[in-house]
A and B are shown apart, each in its own frame.
Chain A
Amino acid sequence: MTGSTIDHLISLTVFIGALLVFISLFNQTLQTAILYQRQRYLATKCNDLLDNIMLNPGIPSDWGESGNVPIGFGLQDPKFTHYALSPFSLMRLLSFAGNRAYYNGTWYSNVSWGVNGGYLFLSESECVSYDLASKLLGTKGTYGFRLTIMPTVNVTIVEDQSAADHLRLNITVLGQNSPLAGASIKYLLYWISAYIPTFVNFTTGMASTDALGFASLEFHNINVSQNKMAYVFIARVSAGGLYGVGYLARNAVTNAGTIVPYVENSNGTILLVHNPGDSNAALHFNASFYVLSSNFQTSNGGVLNITSGPWLVNYGEGKPSFVLQIQPPNNGGFLVLSYWKEDGGNECGMVVVPWGIGIIGLSIIFGGDSAGQGWVATDIRQVAVRGIAYQARLALWSLESYGMMG
């Protein structure tokens, strides 16, 4: 009798347990299926959103160049169609890449903080924030995104330290993680000597990469030891119709420090700020803006001529900065800034400031942080920024809870 009761109790418990397990598993299966469908929807949304960003120039269409606050968000170059992005609209995206820079009451978007001698700081008041872009795209509160625009062709330029008496630059050209053999290289080299720093020398030439995507360029007349010479080197690489750009500048820290350029606005105002060194000495400088054509030819839009100066910055003497005005070109260009110590002029350095993303191959990261998000959809487009091949990658995630019932 007792055995029968126990049997019944056990069977009832097992039965109810099995039922609960079944419901739980069934529910879990359905949740997975719904989640999968949400993720598929997110992927479709990501695809649509990326096209919307890449295939319209925004409103007004010249917001990247004019400095206006856009009322429609898009990055397409208004002068082109298809997946061609505006180097100036990209420049105005508030960078997520690095720490913001602060100077004299103003925050600056940090696209490049002296990486390889290239600077691109733009006043945040000129930038389009992630918040504004989200509003204009209609995603605020529902989706988060991050847009990464990076060169397809990776051009790495390194100064070969083993060449003691002259400048040797090693160039490595990579495509999508594989070397680009036989790529042609066209380069521009600006250099100064600390002995005659007011004169900016210029050399241009061509080379090609070997089977490993490698090229070594020798400049026997340039001796960079002891900071006595400085240079800005920009190379455009082409292979199979793809173009890439790389650069290297000798941003030497002299005894009198360096000069850091901050772009104040889209009208071409650039603030050259003295970053003082060990001594209280002044830094003399020269600055030339070069307009870059589509076939990688430069024309000198000379900004300052040292002979009409003297142009200098001296933090300790009440001249911490110098306001430079350029005429922003339609095609983009770059500012070559050379500086040297006032006394004796035996130390010098050079930096480059691009006007437009793509001019020297900088990357842009814009948007929010996807860390901690459960599911992130990504989509990729191959785009061109004034002829230079870039890859645009959009990461999208939902900000809405995926709470499930059942």
Chain B
Amino acid sequence: MAHITIEYIIMIPVLILQIFLFPLWASWLMNIWVDSRRTLALQEAASHIGSSIQQVYFVLNPATVAAQTLTQKLNVPPFIENYKYAGNATLKSILDPELVSNKVLEITLKLEDVGTIAKATVILGSNVAWRESTFVSSARASCIIAEKLANGTICLSFGG
């Protein structure tokens, strides 16, 4: 009789514990999956925006290209799992002696309501300027605006 009591004393708490532990484990693992998925999707979008900026810059950069404004529509999803995302960019100098005459544009995207952040960097030439602007994924015509000035400077910004 005593054995049975001890067995139930052990078994019942273990079973009850499982009721809580199992969903917790599942939830924890699912959170990892969801976070990774969102981060990667956001990273992919940031990387693609960076690549598009770099391509637009190089289209305008040759000396033979006259001063003009170019708009490039961004081919990124407006939502990531029903969350819109927004971003901005900052232009920085590079300390590496081999890249001292280059500038790096760091693009930061943030998934709204969730807070997931992804960054991408692109190397551009010295004749680049960044006009303060914000990228909003859900905007109808989110794009990159590149304006080549008469002095050869290329001003980049988000549009839409």
Give CA–CA (A15, B28) in the complex, Å. Answer: 21
Closest residue to A48 on the B side, CB-wise? B51
Interface residue ranges of B108-127 to A (CB < 8 Å): 121-126
* Residue A319 at the chain B interface, CB threshold 8 Å: no
Do residues B25 and A57 form an inter-chain contact, with CB atoms below 8 A?
no
Do residues A8 and B47 form an inter-chain contact, with CB atoms below 8 A?
no
What are 27 A-B pairs at a CB distance below 8 A?
Answer: A4-B4, A5-B3, A5-B7, A8-B10, A15-B14, A26-B29, A27-B29, A33-B33, A34-B36, A34-B37, A38-B40, A45-B47, A48-B51, A51-B55, A52-B54, A55-B58, A56-B61, A61-B61, A71-B125, A72-B61, A72-B123, A72-B125, A78-B62, A132-B98, A135-B99, A135-B123, A405-B32
Do residues A34 and B33 form an inter-chain contact, with CB atoms below 8 A?
yes
Interface residue ranges of A270-317 to B (CB < 8 Å): none
Give CA–CA (A51, B55) in the complex, Å. Answer: 8
Enumerate chain B residues within 8 angstroms of A135, measured Cβ to Cβ.
96, 98-99, 123
Do residues B58 and A138 form an inter-chain contact, with CB atoms below 8 A?
no
Do residues B7 and A4 form an inter-chain contact, with CB atoms below 8 A?
yes
Closest residue to A76 on the B side, CB-wise? B58
Give CA–CA (A38, B40) in the complex, Å. Answer: 7
A354 CB → nearest B CB, Å: 26
Chain B residues in the interface with A (C-beta under 8 A)? 3-4, 7, 10-11, 14, 18, 22, 25-26, 28-30, 32-33, 36-37, 40-41, 43-44, 47-48, 50-51, 54-55, 58-59, 61-63, 96, 98-99, 101-102, 104, 121-126
B109 CB → nearest A CB, Å: 14
Which of A30, A37, A45 is close to B29, meaning CB atoms less than 8 Å apart?
Answer: A30
Which of B3, B11, B36, B61 is close to A37, meaning CB atoms less than 8 Å apart?
Answer: B36
Closest residue to B21 on the A side, CB-wise? A19
Please give 17 more A-B residue pairs, beta carbons under 8 A apart, in addition to A1-B4, A30-B29, A406-B32.
A4-B3, A4-B7, A12-B14, A26-B26, A30-B32, A38-B40, A44-B44, A48-B51, A52-B51, A52-B58, A56-B54, A56-B55, A57-B58, A57-B62, A71-B102, A138-B121, A406-B28
* Residue A41 at the chain B interface, CB threshold 8 Å: yes
Interface residue ranges of A54-83 to B (CB < 8 Å): 55-57, 59, 61, 71-72, 74, 78
Do residues B61 and A59 form an inter-chain contact, with CB atoms below 8 A?
yes
Which of A5, A23, A34 is close to B25, meaning CB atoms less than 8 Å apart?
Answer: A23
Enumerate chain A residues within 8 angstroms of B37, measured Cβ to Cβ.
33-34, 37
Do residues A49 and B44 form an inter-chain contact, with CB atoms below 8 A?
no
* Residue A136 at the chain B interface, CB threshold 8 Å: yes
Give CA–CA (A19, B15) in the complex, Å. Answer: 12
Which 6 residue pairs of A and B lie closest in terms of their CB atoms, listed nearest first? A56-B58, A48-B51, A30-B33, A34-B36, A8-B7, A138-B123
